[in-house]
Amino acid sequence: MVLDQTVIDEIEQVVGKGGYSLSPAVLYTYGFDASIYHNTPDIVIQPTSTEQVSALMKIASKHHIPVVPRGAGTGLCGAAVPIKGGMILAMQKMNKIVRLSVADLWVDVQAGCVYNDLNAELAKYGFFFPPSPGSAEACQVGGMVATNASGMRAVKYGATRDYVLGLTFVRADGEIVKCGTHTIKDASGYQLARLMCGSEGTLGVITEVTFKLTTKPKKSASCLCGFDSVVAAGKCISALIAKPLIPASCELMDNVSITAVNKALGNPLPAVNALIIVEVDGETDEIIQRDLKIVEETAKEQHATSVTPSFDKAQIAKWTNARKSVLASLSALLPGHVSVSLADDMGVPVSKVPEAVAAFQRIAKAHNVTVATYGHASDGNLHTKMVLDPTDKGEWDRGVAAVGEIFDVCIKLGGTVTGEHGVGISKALSFQKERASELSSILAIKQAMDPENILNPGKAAQWRGNMLTHLRYPCKEYVN
């Protein structure tokens, strides 16, 4: 669509000349997120207040213009890609910590605040906001709420939605809605703030969030355990939890991921077939020693080929960095190949992790594709990345077929097609399968809150068609 000058003038009255851009370079750039998709918007606007967002939504509603709220664009499933063009509402100027009450255990923060910036402030008071996504340095808290982001620590500390006490959002018609409370407990009817968690910009534009605070544990240590197979590593994770031991985090890496990281970063990890890195945390050294001993004993019972506990912060940082580098390292694994987020973040019950990873390996072999499996496996969250030649239609087609089967396995095991990254485009068809019995209710909620269908239209429950439409790679058969 092309925006006519009347609309641009109305937008300029709200945000001023410097508050929007029509530059082709800017528009092109904002057509990406970190997924495999791209589509160019018609205008990029950077609002500075909830009132501006409200005025912009009234303009969009009046002229039936699609609107995609955007955080840092680190999403991996295409949720922030404006597939129908229209307005991008880029939230980076709304980045302030508005109020903090440590005595009441809450903080009010604008949606565009970067996760790490919020935690840097909370750390001054001994508190933290735990979800810890791998994109912590860039992703915004509004984007985290909109995708219900989490990360390494979810098994012990939960996901973003577990910390949302309330929030302010702007509806499609421009109405400002303040929902939730500043209390730790709240039983007052429908929890609209929860409804916005995972809404991916389809129900409203989140402008401010009230998060519950929690204290940061004083001590931690880690243990790296090597295994002969990823299935054996997966079995160790459920054995650990059944002890019982809830680790602060437990990261799994298969052989493809380990090889890629060792090649890219000069061997920071042992050359084993699979590994887990288990982190324990707590208030005292005694707690850490006790929990680390449980980890070591369990790993040995589960036939670990190596068990390396460490209190050394530099060593642990090296392991953590290695694990966080999987995604980028995979693109350097094979010449002419890149790692792509097709089926990138499924969740299964923890005890089903071994069965799931064995199935992923079978499926990859059957379709002749390279799949790396890694993830926050102690909460059942498995990442798979496919390493393929992005110009080769055959590789994409085989990849998509493999992905469909991987999703089916996860659904059959009682899991989900997305544990933390969200639905967007790449999981949309399988999400519709997974949530078949909820789908008409989901669409009814969307219709009630956005009757004109202008908020991030065509995504998730509304997606129709091939999941390679809008591909950003130079594959001539699929290029958008």
Ligand X SMILES: Cc1cc2nc3c(=O)[nH]c(=O)nc-3n(C[C@H](O)[C@H](O)[C@H](O)COP(=O)(O)OP(=O)(O)OC[C@H]3O[C@@H](n4cnc5c(N)ncnc54)[C@H](O)[C@@H]3O)c2cc1C
Q: Would you tell me which residues interact with ligand X (CB under 6 A)?
A: 33-34, 68-76, 79-80, 91, 111, 133-135, 139-140, 142-144, 146-147, 149-151, 200-201, 205-206, 327, 420-422, 456
Of the pair 54, 302, the CB lying nearest ligand X is at 54
* Closest CB 129 distance from ligand X, rounded Å: 13
Comparing CB distances to ligand X, the nearer of 68 and 83 is 68
Nearest-approach distance from CB 286 to ligand X, in angstroms: 31
Residue 65 C-beta: closest distance to ligand X, Å: 15
Q: What is the nearest approach in angstroms of ligand X to the Cβ of residue 348?
A: 17
Considering the complex, what minimum distance in angstroms separates the CB of residue 5 from ligand X? 27
**Residue corresponding to tokens 């680190």:** 74
Cβ closer to ligand X: 238 or 418? 418
State the amino acid at position 298 in one-letter form: T
User: Which one-letter DSSP state was computed for residue 81?
Assistant: S
Question: Rounded to an integer, what distance in angstroms lies between the CA atom of residue 419 and that of residue 151?
Answer: 9
User: SS3 breakdown of the chain: % helix, strand, coil, rounded to 5?
Assistant: 40, 20, 40
Q: Which is nearer to ligand X, 79 or 100 (CB)?
A: 79
Element holding 250 (H helix, E strand) = strand 249-253
Nearer to ligand X, 104 or 162 (CB): 162
Name which of 128 and 235 has its Cβ closer to ligand X. 128
Question: What minimum distance in Å lies between the beta carbon of 310 and ligand X?
Answer: 22
Residue nearer to ligand X on the CB measure, 73 or 399 = 73
Torsion of CA 11, 14, 15, 20, to 10 degrees: -10
Rounded to whole angstroms, the Cα distance separating 149 from 97 reads 19
**Token pair in block for residue 125:** 């008071």
Q: Are 204 and 171 in contact (CB under 8 A)?
A: yes
Amino acid found at 369: V
3 state DSSP class of 119: helix
SS (H, E, C) 389-407: CCCCHHHHHHHHHHHHHHH
Q: What is the C-alpha to C-alpha distance for residues 45 and 189, in angstroms, rounded to an integer? A: 35
Using CA atoms in the order 406, 346, 319, 118, what is the torsion angle rounded to 10 degrees?
Answer: 160
Nearest to ligand X of 33, 291 (CB atom) = 33
Q: How far is the CB of 340 from ligand X (least distance, A)?
A: 12
Alpha-carbon distances of 168 from 44, 55, 108, 178, rounded to whole Å: 22, 15, 10, 4
Q: Report helix, strand or coil for 140.
A: strand
Considering the complex, what minimum distance in angstroms separates the CB of residue 243 from ligand X? 25
